[in-house]
Amino acid sequence: MKSIIWYCLIVFAFMSVNVLAQNDLASLRSMFQQLENEWSKAYIAGDASTLAGMYTDDEYSMPDNTQMWKGRDMILEGNKKEMQSGAKYTSLTAKTMDVFGSGNIVYEVGTYSMTFIPANMTESVTDNGKYIDIWQLQADGSWKIKADIWNSNLAPVSPTQAGAKERDKYLDFK
Protein backbone atom coordinates (compact mmCIF):
# COMPACT_ATOMS: atom_id res chain seq x y z
CA MET A 1 0.00 0.00 0.00
CA LYS A 2 2.79 2.44 0.91
CA SER A 3 4.53 1.77 -2.40
CA ILE A 4 1.33 2.63 -4.30
CA ILE A 5 1.05 5.93 -2.41
CA TRP A 6 4.72 6.78 -3.14
CA TYR A 7 4.25 5.85 -6.78
CA CYS A 8 1.20 8.12 -7.02
CA LEU A 9 3.10 10.99 -5.36
CA ILE A 10 6.01 10.62 -7.78
CA VAL A 11 3.68 10.57 -10.80
CA PHE A 12 1.84 13.63 -9.47
CA ALA A 13 5.16 15.46 -8.95
CA PHE A 14 6.26 14.81 -12.54
CA MET A 15 2.87 15.89 -13.88
CA SER A 16 3.09 19.11 -11.85
CA VAL A 17 6.54 19.90 -13.26
CA ASN A 18 5.23 19.39 -16.80
CA VAL A 19 2.24 21.70 -16.19
CA LEU A 20 4.55 24.36 -14.71
CA ALA A 21 6.89 24.10 -17.72
CA GLN A 22 3.94 24.50 -20.12
CA ASN A 23 2.70 27.57 -18.22
CA ASP A 24 6.21 29.04 -18.32
CA LEU A 25 6.43 28.52 -22.10
CA ALA A 26 2.98 30.09 -22.52
CA SER A 27 4.12 33.22 -20.67
CA LEU A 28 7.33 33.30 -22.74
CA ARG A 29 5.26 33.00 -25.91
CA SER A 30 3.28 36.07 -24.88
CA MET A 31 6.45 37.98 -23.96
CA PHE A 32 8.18 37.07 -27.25
CA GLN A 33 5.11 38.27 -29.14
CA GLN A 34 5.45 41.63 -27.36
CA LEU A 35 9.16 41.75 -28.25
CA GLU A 36 8.32 40.93 -31.89
CA ASN A 37 5.82 43.82 -31.85
CA GLU A 38 8.58 46.15 -30.58
CA TRP A 39 10.97 44.82 -33.24
CA SER A 40 8.37 45.48 -35.95
CA LYS A 41 7.73 49.04 -34.73
CA ALA A 42 11.46 49.81 -34.71
CA TYR A 43 11.85 48.37 -38.21
CA ILE A 44 8.97 50.42 -39.65
CA ALA A 45 10.35 53.53 -37.89
CA GLY A 46 13.81 52.95 -39.40
CA ASP A 47 15.38 52.66 -35.94
CA ALA A 48 18.40 50.42 -36.61
CA SER A 49 19.92 51.15 -33.18
CA THR A 50 16.86 49.83 -31.32
CA LEU A 51 16.90 46.72 -33.51
CA ALA A 52 20.60 46.09 -32.84
CA GLY A 53 19.97 46.46 -29.10
CA MET A 54 17.55 43.51 -29.23
CA TYR A 55 20.40 41.14 -30.14
CA THR A 56 23.25 39.67 -28.11
CA ASP A 57 26.74 41.01 -28.86
CA ASP A 58 27.71 37.80 -30.68
CA GLU A 59 24.44 37.13 -32.49
CA TYR A 60 24.05 35.41 -35.86
CA SER A 61 21.43 36.71 -38.25
CA MET A 62 20.53 35.00 -41.50
CA PRO A 63 18.40 37.41 -43.54
CA ASP A 64 16.63 36.34 -46.68
CA ASN A 65 18.61 36.65 -49.94
CA THR A 66 21.86 37.96 -48.45
CA GLN A 67 24.87 36.75 -46.50
CA MET A 68 24.83 35.97 -42.79
CA TRP A 69 25.46 38.81 -40.34
CA LYS A 70 27.62 38.09 -37.26
CA GLY A 71 27.62 40.34 -34.22
CA ARG A 72 25.74 43.43 -33.17
CA ASP A 73 27.88 45.79 -35.29
CA MET A 74 27.04 43.92 -38.47
CA ILE A 75 23.35 43.75 -37.43
CA LEU A 76 23.39 47.53 -37.03
CA GLU A 77 25.20 48.06 -40.34
CA GLY A 78 22.94 45.65 -42.24
CA ASN A 79 19.75 47.22 -40.92
CA LYS A 80 21.04 50.74 -41.65
CA LYS A 81 21.78 49.75 -45.25
CA GLU A 82 18.34 48.16 -45.57
CA MET A 83 16.69 51.28 -44.18
CA GLN A 84 18.68 53.57 -46.48
CA SER A 85 17.94 51.45 -49.56
CA GLY A 86 15.01 53.56 -50.66
CA ALA A 87 12.39 50.98 -49.80
CA LYS A 88 9.51 52.36 -47.74
CA TYR A 89 8.10 49.89 -45.20
CA THR A 90 4.51 50.60 -44.30
CA SER A 91 3.57 47.56 -42.20
CA LEU A 92 5.24 44.59 -40.57
CA THR A 93 3.49 42.05 -38.41
CA ALA A 94 5.19 39.06 -36.81
CA LYS A 95 3.18 36.32 -35.18
CA THR A 96 4.70 33.98 -32.61
CA MET A 97 3.37 30.51 -33.41
CA ASP A 98 5.21 28.42 -30.81
CA VAL A 99 8.12 28.37 -28.38
CA PHE A 100 10.32 25.48 -27.29
CA GLY A 101 13.19 25.12 -24.87
CA SER A 102 14.02 25.67 -21.25
CA GLY A 103 16.48 27.49 -19.07
CA ASN A 104 18.47 30.24 -20.74
CA ILE A 105 17.70 29.30 -24.37
CA VAL A 106 14.25 29.30 -25.96
CA TYR A 107 13.36 28.86 -29.65
CA GLU A 108 10.52 30.84 -31.20
CA VAL A 109 8.85 29.86 -34.46
CA GLY A 110 6.69 32.38 -36.23
CA THR A 111 5.33 33.95 -39.39
CA TYR A 112 5.46 37.48 -40.73
CA SER A 113 3.68 39.71 -43.20
CA MET A 114 5.00 43.03 -44.46
CA THR A 115 4.02 45.66 -46.95
CA PHE A 116 6.54 47.97 -48.56
CA ILE A 117 7.26 50.03 -51.64
CA PRO A 118 10.57 48.83 -53.14
CA ALA A 119 13.18 51.37 -54.20
CA ASN A 120 12.54 52.84 -57.65
CA MET A 121 8.95 51.58 -57.66
CA THR A 122 5.61 53.20 -56.93
CA GLU A 123 3.37 50.25 -56.10
CA SER A 124 3.44 48.49 -52.76
CA VAL A 125 4.38 44.84 -52.42
CA THR A 126 3.16 42.48 -49.72
CA ASP A 127 5.53 39.76 -48.57
CA ASN A 128 4.92 36.97 -46.12
CA GLY A 129 7.17 34.30 -44.71
CA LYS A 130 8.45 32.50 -41.66
CA TYR A 131 11.19 32.87 -39.08
CA ILE A 132 12.96 31.23 -36.20
CA ASP A 133 14.46 33.28 -33.36
CA ILE A 134 16.69 31.75 -30.72
CA TRP A 135 16.37 33.84 -27.56
CA GLN A 136 18.97 33.88 -24.78
CA LEU A 137 18.22 34.99 -21.22
CA GLN A 138 20.64 37.75 -20.17
CA ALA A 139 22.17 38.32 -16.72
CA ASP A 140 19.82 41.29 -16.19
CA GLY A 141 16.74 39.09 -16.78
CA SER A 142 16.02 40.39 -20.29
CA TRP A 143 15.80 38.18 -23.38
CA LYS A 144 17.86 38.96 -26.49
CA ILE A 145 18.07 37.29 -29.86
CA LYS A 146 21.10 34.98 -30.09
CA ALA A 147 20.38 33.79 -33.64
CA ASP A 148 17.64 34.31 -36.19
CA ILE A 149 16.71 33.30 -39.69
CA TRP A 150 13.81 34.32 -41.86
CA ASN A 151 12.75 33.83 -45.43
CA SER A 152 9.92 34.72 -47.72
CA ASN A 153 7.22 32.39 -48.95
CA LEU A 154 7.41 34.28 -52.28
CA ALA A 155 9.81 33.70 -55.15
CA PRO A 156 13.01 35.79 -55.10
CA VAL A 157 13.14 39.08 -57.01
CA SER A 158 14.07 38.59 -60.63
CA PRO A 159 17.38 40.25 -61.65
CA THR A 160 15.46 42.10 -64.37
CA GLN A 161 12.79 43.47 -62.00
CA ALA A 162 12.85 47.22 -61.38
CA GLY A 163 15.03 48.03 -58.40
CA ALA A 164 16.88 44.68 -58.36
CA LYS A 165 20.31 46.16 -59.16
CA GLU A 166 19.89 48.81 -56.47
CA ARG A 167 18.79 46.16 -53.99
CA ASP A 168 21.83 44.01 -54.77
CA LYS A 169 24.16 47.02 -54.40
CA TYR A 170 23.03 47.96 -50.89
CA LEU A 171 23.05 44.30 -49.74
CA ASP A 172 26.65 43.77 -50.82
CA PHE A 173 28.95 43.58 -47.77
CA LYS A 174 32.09 42.55 -49.68
Q: How many domains does the chain have?
A: 1
Work out the number of other CB atoms within 10 angstroms of the CB of residue 59. 21
Mean pLDDT, the chain, integer: 83
Q: What are phi and psi of 122, to 5 degrees?
A: -115, -20
Q: Which residue range(s) make up the domain with 36?
A: 2-171
pLDDT tens track for 23-42: 488 899 999 999 999 999 99
Q: Is 14 exposed, middle or buried (0-12, 13-18, 19+ CB in 10 A)?
A: exposed
Q: Domain holding 122: CATH number?
A: 3.10.450.50
pTM recorded for the entire structure:
0.74
Output the CA torsion 170→62→73→89 (10° steps): 50
